Amino acid sequence: MLLAACASVQPAPTNKRIALTFDDVPRGAGAFLPVEERAAMLRRELRRAGVSQAAFFVNPGHYAEHPERIADLIAYAAEGHAVANHSNTHPALTDLRAEDYLLDIDRAERWLVQIPNHRAWFRYPYLNEGRSDLAKRDAVRAGLAERDLANGYVTVDASDWFYEGAAVAARDAGKTIDREALRDLYVESHVEAAEFYDRLAREATGRSPAHVMLLHETDLAALWIGDLVAALRAAGWTIVSADEAYADPIAPLAATYETPSAQGTLTEQVAWQRGLPAPRWYARNNTDLAQAEFDRRVLHLSDD
């Protein structure tokens, strides 16, 4: 049973809140669904799960080759979901000068302000805020402040993009994918990650913030977001809007934390700043561990 797979991460219910956010819109094809059907399925499953407002972080430059998919973005907004900036072309900050990076953000923002339910939030591609180049980090922070763009940070990450990629690779290699096992691994990993980062946040800040979960517009999300929401609720979580999450008192820390390297979840960065020891990240964000679980549970390679 799916919920039984999450039994080990179900504490007594507390006031735990989490918003769902989806990156890389519009995303390319995944392992299971026709890309033209995925967005409609994701909208439907969010509606069925009672999620009234998720947030979609968009790369407008990726619509150039697929303008027909703009209709999906308008449909997300029409259902009440927030739309925000994930850069125009998804560059890594470490690969560009700060001024060129900000120009890419500007191109995206000029396009996005035309979309209903637009929010002035910017999420760094790869959660890369400059890594060890703190001068570049500070230049972009200042640029965002000048543009009245808030950091669209995340506090919970389970590397959902990895499981999508692993499924595509397995399909392309002609391997048999146990889809029920993949569903369980996907759901379990995200519930475990939520619990891990909430414990870390409580230790670092003395409270449980309204969390922001990082997801992507993948086949896995379209297929199993309802299962994930059910498992989170069974573990004592309340699904809240992105608006509520980004109004949390933890939000200002996204523009002020000081660490030797700037990348990853806000939870990790705050814990690092406040001297908490590693690990400050969920274990399966180590993709070697995630691949081993995928091989064992989804491909049943240990059974060979």
Instruction: Please tell me the class of the 16-303 domain.
Output: alpha beta
Listed in sequence order, the DSSP H helices in 89-218 are 98-112, 134-146, 160-172, 179-205
Instruction: Give the pair of three-digit tokens for residue 274.
Output: 């406040």
Omega into 260 within 30° of 0, i.e. cis?
no
Contacts of residues 277-286 at CB distance under 8 Å and 24 or more positions apart, as own/partner, are 280/200, 281/157, 282/157, 282/158, 282/189, 282/192, 282/193, 282/196, 282/197, 283/196, 284/158, 284/159, 284/189, 284/192, 284/193, 285/157, 285/158, 285/159, 285/193
Q: Are 297 and 183 in contact (CB under 8 A)?
A: no
Supply the pLDDT for residue 302: 76
Instruction: Give the pair of three-digit tokens for residue 3.
Output: 């919920």
Dihedral over Cα of 264, 266, 267, 268: its sign: positive
Supply the pLDDT for residue 14: 66
> Over the chain (304 residues), what is each successive 10-residue block's mean pLDDT?
42 78 97 97 98 98 95 98 98 98 98 98 98 98 98 98 98 98 98 98 98 98 98 98 98 98 98 97 98 98 68
Residues 6+ away with beta carbon under 8 Å from 290 = 159, 162, 163, 166, 189, 284
CA distance 299 to 182: 9
Global model pTM greater than 0.85: yes
